[in-house]
Structure 1
Amino acid sequence: MYETFTTVIGTVVTEPRRRTTSTGEEVISFRVASTSRRLDRERQHWTDGPTLYLTVSCWRRLLTGVGAAIAKGRPIIAHGQIKTNEFQAADGSRRSDLEMTANSIGLDLSRCVVAYRGTPAQDKPADQAEKAVPESDSADTGTIVEEQRPPAAA
């Protein structure tokens, strides 16, 4: 199967929902809106283009970080595998929805300012730090301590 990976920059438009599947796995899902913007140089103002809506699903190692950092209204960058889900609506019509299974999620620092505070073990000098865990096995459990939105561009 051909897997399509993409990166989407957008805004979270629903509160993230944490649920457990029938197989016992946890997942957090939320909707993202991404609107393209173009500068109309003749009129010197920005014009909005069409909006892309998609559902982002986060599994396994993403659960802790996404649960702590992602909320409705936050600007994010999401990278992952994208696919189309086709389904039958309640009225009997066939519909489709775009879904991303995320590999990485982050706050878009071009649209917000975030101060980050790591865990105490990360703040110790190297000679006092406990045994290092290989990067592939570690999870950074720092927290967002402040979020500010920069002034809107005129």
Structure 2
Amino acid sequence: MNETMICAVGNVATQPMYRDPESGASARFRLAVTARYWDREKNAWTDGHTNFFTVWANRQLAANAMASLNVGDPVVVQGRLKVRSESRDGNTRAWADIDAVAIGHDLSRGTAAFRRTSRQESGAATGPARSAPEAEPAPAQPEPRWETPAARPAPEPAPRQHREPAAVT
């Protein structure tokens, strides 16, 4: 209920790792998020600090992430922020994980071709297949109608009937 939802924009830093135990499929990868700012002295964009997150995806999102993501891909990740810390020998370490709800390519930095996955029958567990560039394209779907329908003229208002004011006595 009271969870910290974040949206992080960055690059895939490690190749996604997939596992499919009996509890359900999951995938994880590291996400590098680098702040950028305009440096007036250099008159150029400059990279700031880089934060690293471990992104966890589950079920169908895990299979789709595994089949779609590669190191260096610009992505947008939305999910629940989980911060963990551990103290050992006087040293404290902290990790920031994102339990992903949605992952997508950042279209401000490139293009992508979306392919719908087919729903698997329950009980049929198969791992994700990496997409090959020479893969057969999906059958063409009819192009959706994007046009806005033409405005219809407003109906003519009914003529108002004139009434004589009532006489006051």
TM-score, structure 2 as length reference: 0.64
How does 1:48-87 map onto structure 2 within 5 Å? 48-87=47-86
SS at match of 2:66: helix
8 Å CA contact 2:32, 2:50 repeated in 1: yes
> What is the identity, as a one-letter code, of the residue corresponding to 2:103?
I
Matched residue type, 2:84? N
Query: Hey, what's the Cα distance between the residues in 2 that align with 1:13 and 1:33?
Result: 6
Distance in 1 between residues matched to 2:62 and 2:91, nearest whole Å: 34
Aligned to 2:92: 94
**Matched residue, 1:38:** 37
Q: Percent identity?
A: 35
Corresponding position of 2:25: 26
Residue deviations 1:93-125, cap 9 Å, x none? 4321000000000001112222445543x6158
Report SS of the residue matched to 1:113: coil
Asked if 1:123 is matched to 2:141, the reply is yes
CA distance in 1, matches of 2:42, 2:141: 50
1:144 aligned partner: none
User: 2:12 aligned with 1:12, yes or no?
Assistant: yes
C-alpha distance in structure 1 between counterparts of 2:33 and 2:143, whole Å: 41
Give CA-to-partner distance per residue, 1:35-66, whole Å, 9 cap, x none: 01011234311111111100000012312321
SS at 1:28 equivalent: strand
Runs of 5+ unmatched residues, structure 2: 117-137, 145-169
Q: Structure 1: how far apart are the matches of 2:113 and 2:94?
A: 39
- SS of residue in 1 equivalent to 2:112: strand
Q: Tell me which amino acid in the other structure corresponds to 2:17.
A: R
Find the aligned partners of 1:36 and 1:99 in 2 and give their Cα distance: 18
Task: Give the count of matched residue pairs.
Answer: 123
Contact 2:30 2:52 in 1 (8 A): yes
Separation in 1, partners of 2:19, 2:91: 27
Q: Aligned Cα RMSD in Å? A: 2.4
- Larger-gyration structure (1/2): 2
Equivalent residue letter for 1:113: T
Q: 2:101 aligns with which of 79, 100, 103?
A: 103
